[in-house]
Amino acid sequence: MIFDPEKFKNLDLQSFMQRNGKEARGPAVHDFARKLKTEMGFKKVGAVGYCWGGWAAFQLGGKGKNLVDAISVAHPTFLTKEEIDDVAVPVQILAPETDPRFTPELKEHANRVIPTLGVEYDYQYFPGLAHGFSCRADENDEKEKRGLERAKNAVSGWFGQMLQGR
């Protein structure tokens, strides 16, 4: 099993988020992405954001940033409408049916706004799955296992299309 509910019960989520929230991790994430292109010479860079990393991927792909060339997010947490509105690179969103963090309102906003921004957009819906499906699925649950595999293949295919030969 990828996700152990017993271990998750012991996680101090508030403390984790203080250490790993936007204010704490944003500067380092942006600096790292900048260095990939300026110091390490990568011509194309993609950003994947699972859960709390979703906001970071959207920020890296923001207008005028020139930090990444495409993003993919799955069940993003702490993503704002403003970050969605500001995206300027190709976007892939992997969205489960049930997600208290990537709410129906945010899903609707993304699906209404992103197609008007002039960037390629791939929205994939995962019926019957919930927040966390793409990184902490129960391998003994066939539906979750298939969703995890589909998500992995979607991300790999997305970056293969968006970053190669462009």
The pLDDT confidence band at residue 165, using thresholds 50, 70 and 90, is: low
Report the distance separating Cα 15 and Cα 17, nearest Å.
5
What are the tens digits of pLDDT across the range 38-91?
A: 999 999 999 999 988 999 999 999 999 999 999 999 999 899 999 999 999 999
The pLDDT of residue 89 is 98
75 with 49: CB under 8 angstroms?
no
* 3-state SS assignment for residue 137: coil
List, edge to edge, every strand of the sheet that includes 46-50. Answer: 46-50, 70-74, 91-98, 121-130
The pLDDT of residue 1 is 41
The pLDDT of residue 4 is 67
Q: Is residue 166 predicted with pLDDT exceeding 80?
A: no
Closest CA to 122 of 166, 164, 156, 79: 156
The pLDDT of residue 43 is 93
In angstroms, how far is the first alpha carbon of the chain from the final one? 38
The pLDDT of residue 68 is 98
Please state, in angstroms and as integers, the Cα–Cα distance from residue 5 to each residue in 74, 79, 155, following that order: 20, 25, 26
Q: Is residue 143 predicted with pLDDT exceeding 70?
A: yes
What are the tens digits of pLDDT across the range 85-135?
A: 999 999 999 999 999 999 999 999 999 999 999 999 999 999 999 888 898
Q: Is residue 2 predicted with pLDDT exceeding 80?
A: no
Mean pLDDT for 4-19 is: 78
Mean pLDDT for 17-27 is: 88
